A and B are shown apart, each in its own frame.
Chain A
Amino acid sequence: MSNLPDQANCEREERLEHVWANLPGWGALAAVNHTSVGLRFMATGMVFFLIGGVLAMLIRTQLALPEQEIIGASVYNQIFTMHGTVMMFLFAIPVLEGAAMYLVPKMLGTRDLVFPRLSALGYYCYLFGGVIILSSLVFEIAPDAGWFMYTPLSSHTYSPGPGSDFWLLGITFVEISAISAGVELVVSILRTRANGMSLNKMPIFCWYILAMALMIVFGFPPLILGSVLLELERAAGFVFFETVGGGDPLLWQHLFWLFGHPEVYIIFLPAAGIVSTLIPVFARHPLVGYRWIVLGIITMGFISFGLWVHHMFTVGIPQMAQAFFSVASMLVAIPTAIQIFAWLATLWQGKVVYHLPMLWIIGFLVVFVCGGLTGVMLALVPFNWQVHDTHFVVAHMHYVLVGGMLFPLIAGFYYWLPHVSGRMPSDKMGRWGFWLFFGGFNVTFLLMHLTGLLGMPRRIYTYEAGLGWDWLNLVSSIGGFIMAIGVAVIIVDIVLHFRFGRRAEQNPWCADTLEWAIPMPVNAYNFSSLPNITTRHPMWENPELIESIAAGEHGLAEVQNVRRDIYGSDAVTGKVREVVHLPTNSWLPLLTAVVLAVVCISLLIKAYPVALAAALLALVLVLRWGWDNCAHPRAAPVREDDPVDPPLHSRTCDGPGLWGMVVSLMANGTLYVSLLFGWFYLWTAAPQWSSPEQGRVALIPMAMSGVLLSLAVMIYRNAVAGLRKGQADGLTLKLWAAAALGLVHWCVLIWILQTSELQPTELAHDAVLMVALYYLLLHSGLAVIFTILQALRVKLGYVGPELPYEPVVIQPFWVYTFGVFWLSFAAFLLLPMAWGA
């Protein structure tokens, strides 16, 4: 492409701006752009952080002196529960997701995430869920059973108020946003990198985010399942965690920590990604041991799933089983140490330039290494028995989380501020903020280790004088307030810089990654043209990219048919394979989230018919949303001038949609496996497990229903196989046949459920079985609806031999439905019979 004259280039960029910009005024609420959504995530997260911080100050006020009654036990319990909940679920994860959403496409050299409307939906779910949870605090009916909600304390008997419901429903609602962000980030990183950006040339930050996103996909479903089960127990009296009837309170702990431990690494990985990005920039030296670090990231991602029982060392598990988790907990120190020393080696080799973000990185190192070392100590079982549930653990946890997440995050904030505002942060005030925060933090938490060793349990609202804890608590409280002042200084600094900061020049830190090739402050479309990437450090080796990108010398410089286009690329080599056209601004995410909020609130006030109606409405909205895809006139209708090489993604068989479906099914499958785990766990470990003498579910009809499902899947697969070959013979007929068979199968399932004699409020066996049956029912029902819609779309010409995209996306869903049906049949019905239980 030749150099366009300036005038023409300006007009070209205006066309880009026109296509990619948010709607004006209130229309900004319909924005789906990753820059807007990412910034909203971060801003909202910071507000929640301040609220959580105020709660922490109340805790430290109450504990400053012995035998105080400033707050009182019941409010104190609400406050510490909400402090943990807000910081973990409403601050740490969403802020990091927001940062990832903002940065990842810019680092990958593309214009947006691959499912933009999903980003917007995730944001609104997070916002509404967070507001619902916090509203409970205003009414003084907040959850008060601790942020990990151990049953039976959180069950109906011991927490009759709505507090626990707020937690369970609100958090599940918020988690929709986490999972959607997880799916979206995985697919975006794997499938929409700049041309030529093979996995080994990907910025290290994206490796971290890829691991984090995959961990979200596998880590959150156990908690979602746990929350659903506990809510069913509280609202409908199903037996899952009550010992009477064959439940087990320990099942909750397993499900919670199966999520809860990976979650710590979900928080740590992106923060470590920030460290790995910043250190090379300030050391003026490429990151040492890129491959070692990738190895560390992958190892950490896996091993962190094998640690969860170390939160449960005192529940009375056999010591050999504890030893496995103890060993795994120590093993995870290795990838961490590899990273710490790779960073050290980078600093060693480089010539370090000293700026404010570096200060926070050093703060991170000091605090995090200390937290990591106490973590290794905690992994040692006998030591754990002594300090578990004491203030030692409180101190350890804050060292790891604040050190491992907040310090790098603030370093990142300062580092990327010019990107958002176009101005540089002030060095002087920033230093004050750092030293106040760092000093206050250590004053608060360093001595708290000792408080714990002296025997102060956590979560007590007051303590007697004279146990040796008095001065320690007072010092901790003073430190807490110094830290709060530090936060205030940092906020003032950041706010002021938007007004008074020095104008930043292009690429102010001399960084190596692509996000600095974008003009500052950022525009709506990131890159005016999409560059080819040949190196891991594009801005160091080709600094002229800034000009050539702006001049439109690279790919997709021209807007086509008023569409938002980006490149889709090969997952390994990063070679361009297709042009992905993205949806534009839409009100549907906001509407869907509002309706989901209605579901959540009506469940809270126990207006179940309303909840059901709203849930159905949400389904309709989501289907409506899916309707505007592919060759729909509002998306990318077939035109004469459609690009052929590379083709539009909706004309291919292996587009991002398929990847999104498969990743979502991984999350879904984890939910199902968690249910299976619950089944086997209760069966083997619940103290009073009992199964009914006769099978509660009619076996033969169930098998027949399964045969119908299998036939439907076969026909559907046959239809898709034909499509892949470009044949459309009998496509509509096959789709209708699959839908019809699926519908009959679904009706038989309903009949089985109706005639079964399940007593979920009496027996845990029946309760689990019932959940499994409803799970199957939901999947079969959705598969049928999707297929009917496909048949209609064939008729309208949105799907066909030239447009095989959508049926291919839905095929894994059918196969999954088929798989879980027969697996359930074997695990829930056949196996108990074979065992003679």
Chain B
Amino acid sequence: MLGWFSLVLVAVIMLWLYAIRRSPGATSEARARQVQKRWIIWGGLVLPITSMAVILAFGIPAGHRMLPLPLDEGEVLRINVTAHQWWWEVYYPESDITLKDELHIPAGVPLDLHLTSADVIHSFWVPRLGGKLDMLPGRTNVLRLHADEPGTYRGQCAEFCGTQHAHMKFTVTAHSPEDYQTWLRQEASDE
């Protein structure tokens, strides 16, 4: 997408500069009209419409995969995240674990984060794991998250939420499924 758009940008600018430099010469009225119409129809209609069709054809399926649709088999792991000014409360309903500013997830499986806020609007975002979703007081939004690789990811509030917005961060630790089970047992026994 970036490449195609850069190409369009450069091409349009080049054409303009050429059009400015170019001397028109003598052409008949009818010929001139034809040329004009061609520019507007090809550049003004055909170019944007085909570009849009192409990016929609890629974009809509990509968006589809991010929806919290029911899986073909099994239940999706659910974690509740509640944002506060300026920290994150993470709760695992199945194992009754509560964490602050950190999130532990199994890698390689999709999970649903149920996002809400206790005060103002925040936005949940882990840049390397996918799109962001706003957290609104009184509503719950569901974000489908999928970490392919185990590792540590940085997350940050993306919707401006007051004085300490810049410091409202958290870490996501994606464990391999076995490590995740170990971690779960450990946390549960600590409680």
Our verdict on whether A and B bind, yes or no, reads yes
Q: Which residues of A contact B (CB under 8 A)?
A: 73-74, 77, 145-146, 150, 152-153, 157-158, 243-244, 248-250, 285, 288-289, 292, 296, 314-316, 319, 323, 326-327, 330-331, 333-334, 336-345, 347-352, 354, 358, 362, 365-366, 369-370, 373-374, 376-377, 380-386, 388-390, 454-455, 457-463, 467, 687-688
Alpha-carbon separation in the docked complex, A341 to B63 (Å): 32
Q: What is the 8 Å Cβ interface bit string for chain B, positions 157-170, against chain A (1 contact, 0 not)?
A: 11111111110000
* A/B interface sample: 10 pairs, CB < 8 A: A152-B137, A153-B120, A249-B138, A316-B139, A334-B45, A341-B44, A343-B16, A345-B35, A381-B59, A388-B131
Besides A158-B120, A336-B48, A380-B1, 7 more A-B contacts (Cβ < 8 Å) are A73-B163, A315-B136, A316-B133, A330-B56, A337-B43, A365-B13, A389-B132
Instruction: Decide: A351 and B23 in contact? CB cutoff 8 A.
Output: yes
Smallest CB-CB separation from B25: which chain A residue?
Answer: A351
Contact B138 A688 (CB under 8 A): yes
Contacts of A354 on B, CB cut-off 8 Å? Answer: 20
In-complex Cβ contact of A338 among B45, B63, B166 (8 A): B45
Given A457-B158, A459-B165: A340 touches B43 (CB 8 Å cut-off):
yes
Shortest Cβ distance from A380 into B: residue: B59
B8, CB-defined interface residue at 8 Å: yes
The residue among A292, A382, A385, A463 with the most chain B CB atoms within 10 A of its own CB is A382
B interface residue numbers (CB < 8 A to A): 1-2, 5, 8-9, 12-13, 15-17, 19-24, 32, 35-37, 39-40, 42-45, 47-49, 51-52, 55-56, 59-60, 62-64, 66-67, 85, 119-121, 123, 125, 127-128, 130-134, 136-139, 141-142, 154, 156-166
Question: Is the beta-carbon distance between B12 and A340 smaller than 8 angstroms?
Answer: yes
Residue in contact with A349 in the complex, picked from B24, B56, B119, CB distance below 8 Å: B24
Q: Which residues of A contact B20 (CB under 8 A)?
A: 347, 352, 354, 358, 362
In the assembled complex, which residues on chain A have CB atoms less than 8 Å from the CB atom of B12? 340, 344, 365, 369
List B contacts of A369 (CB < 8 A).
Answer: 8-9, 12-13
Q: In the complex the two chains form, is B63's CB within 8 Å of A347's CB?
A: no
Q: What 7 pairs across the A-B complex have the smallest Cβ distances?
A: A385-B131, A243-B138, A341-B43, A338-B44, A455-B127, A460-B166, A316-B141
CA distance A331 to B138 in the complex (A): 34
Flag if A347 contacts B19 (CB, 8 Å). yes
Residues of A within 8 A of B139 (CB): 243, 316, 687
Chain A: CB-nearest residue to B8? A373
Residues of chain A within 8 A (CB-CB) of B136 are: 249-250, 315-316
Q: Bound state CA distance, A334 and B43, in angstroms?
A: 9
CB–CB A349/B35 < 8 A: yes
User: With A and B bound together, what is the CA distance between A250 and B44 in angstroms?
Assistant: 36
CB distance from A240 to the nearest CB of B (A): 13
A74-B163 contact in complex given A243-B137, A334-B44, A351-B24, C-beta closer than 8 Å: yes
Q: Compute how far the CA of A348 lies from the CA of B40 in the bound complex, rounded to whole angstroms.
A: 12
Chain A neighbourhood of B40, CB < 8 A: 288-289, 292, 338, 341-342, 345
Of A157, A354, A457, chain B has the most CB atoms within 10 Å of the CB of A457
With both beta carbons as reference points, the residue of chain A lying nearest to B64 in the complex is identified as A319
Contacts known (A334-B49, A349-B32); A152 close to B119, Cβ less than 8 A: yes
Please tell me if the beta carbons of A73 and B121 are within 8 angstroms of each other in the complex: no
A158 touches B162 (CB 8 A): yes
Shortest B140–chain A CB gap in Å is 9
Q: A380 touches which one: B8, B55, B67 (CB < 8 A)?
A: B55
B45 touches A460 (CB 8 A): no
Q: A460 is contacted by which of B85, B130, B131, B165 (Cβ under 8 Å)?
A: B165
Chain B neighbourhood of A362, CB < 8 A? 16-17, 20
Given contacts A373-B5, A382-B62, A385-B131, contact A153 B162 (CB under 8 A): yes
**Shortest Cβ distance from residue B189 to the other chain A in the assembled complex, whole angstroms:** 34
Please, which residues of chain B bring their CB within 8 A of the CB of A340?
A: 12, 43-44
Assuming the A-B contacts A315-B136, A386-B132, are A334 and B63 also in contact, with contact meaning beta carbons closer than 8 angstroms in the complex? Answer: no
Number of A-B contacts (CB under 8 A): 217
Tell me, in angstroms, the Cα distance from A77 to B86 when the chains sit together. 15
User: Are the CB atoms of B62 and A347 closer together than 8 Å?
Assistant: no
- Give complex CA distance A463, B154 in Å: 13
- From B160, which residue of chain A is reached at the shortest CB distance? A459
Measured CB to CB, the nearest residue on chain A to B22 is A348
Q: How far, in angstroms, from A455 to B125 measured CA to CA in the complex?
A: 9
A710 to B67, CA, bound (A): 52
User: Which of B42, B67, B121, B141 has the most chain A CB atoms closer than 10 A to its own CB?
Assistant: B121
Which residues does chain A contribute within 8 Å of B39, judged by CB atoms?
288, 341-342, 344-345, 348
A323 CA / B37 CA spacing, docked (Å): 32
Q: Is the CB of B63 within 8 A of A319?
A: yes
Given contacts A334-B44, A349-B24, A462-B166, contact A146 B49 (CB under 8 A): no
Closest to B133 in A: A314
Contact A377 B16 (CB under 8 A): no
A288: chain B residues within 8 A (beta carbon):
36, 39-40
A463 closest partner in B (C-beta): B166
For A157, the chain B residues whose CB sits under 8 A away are 119
- A146 to chain B minimum Cβ distance, whole angstroms, is 5
Residues of chain A within 8 A (CB-CB) of B52 are 330-331, 333, 376
**Residue contact A73 to B166, C-beta cutoff 8 Å:** yes
Contacts of A457 in B (CB 8 A): 125, 156-158
C-alpha spacing A249/B15, complex, angstroms: 47
A275 smallest CB distance to B (angstroms): 12
Q: Give the residues in chain A near B47, CB-CB below 8 Å.
A: 337
Contact flag A458-B160 (CB < 8 Å), given A73-B166, A152-B120: yes
A314 lies within 8 A of B166 (CB): no
Query: Do residues B36 and A345 form an inter-chain contact, with CB atoms below 8 A?
Result: yes
CA distance A384 to B134 in the complex (A): 13
Give Cα distance in the complex from A744 to B105, angstroms. 69
Which of A345, A366, A385, A467 is within 8 Å of B66, CB to CB?
A385
B5: contacting residue among A250, A315, A377, CB under 8 A = A377
Per the bound structure, the CA–CA distance linking A640 and B17 in Å amounts to: 63
- Return chain A residues, CB-CB under 8 Å to B49: 334
Residues of A within 8 A of B22 (CB): 348
Q: How far is the CA of A352 from the CA of B47 in the complex (A)?
A: 26
**What's the minimum C-beta distance from A160 to chain B, rounded to whole angstroms?**
12
Cβ contacts under 8 Å, A336 to chain B: 48
Nearest CB of chain A from residue B66's CB, rounded to whole Å? 6
Give CA–CA (A289, B40) in the complex, Å: 8
| A340–B42 CA distance with the chains assembled, in angstroms | 12
CB contact under 8 A between A153 and B1, given known A314-B131, A316-B133, A340-B44: no
Task: Report the bound CA distance from A455 to B156 in whole Å.
Answer: 9
**By the criterion CB–CB under 8 Å, are A349 and B36 in contact?**
yes
CA distance A347 to B19 in the complex (A): 5
Question: Contact at B160–A319, with CB atoms within 8 Å?
Answer: no
Given A289-B36, A340-B44: A315 and B160 within 8 A (CB)? no
Which of B16, B66, B158 makes the CB contact (< 8 A) with A390?
A: B158
- CA–CA, A366 and B12, complex, Å: 9
Chain B residues with CB under 8 A of A348? 19, 22, 24, 35-36, 39
Q: A150-B121, A243-B137 are in contact. Are A73 and B35 (CB under 8 A)?
A: no
Contacts of B159 in A (CB 8 A): 150, 314, 389
Q: Nearest Cβ distance between residue B64 and chain A, in whole angstroms?
A: 8
Q: In the complex, what residues of B have CB within 8 A of residue A74's CB?
A: 163
A331 to B131, CA, bound (A): 24
Q: State whether A461 touches B166 (Cβ < 8 A).
A: yes
B143 to A: closest C-beta gap in Å? 9
What is the bound-complex CA distance between A368 and B92, given in angstroms?
A: 48
- Bound CA span A380–B165, Å: 27
A156 CB to closest chain B CB, in angstroms?
12
Residues of B within 8 A of A146 (CB): 160
Q: Which residues of B contact A374 (CB under 8 A)?
A: 5
* Complex interface: chain A residues within 8 A of B62 (CB): 382
Query: Cβ of A687: which chain B residues have Cβ within 8 Å of it?
Result: 138-139
Q: Write out the residue numbers on chain A whose beta carbons fall within 8 Å of the beta carbon of B138.
A: 243-244, 248-249, 687-688
Contacts of B32 in A (CB 8 A): 349
* Given A153-B161, A342-B44, residue A316 in contact with residue B67 (CB < 8 A): no
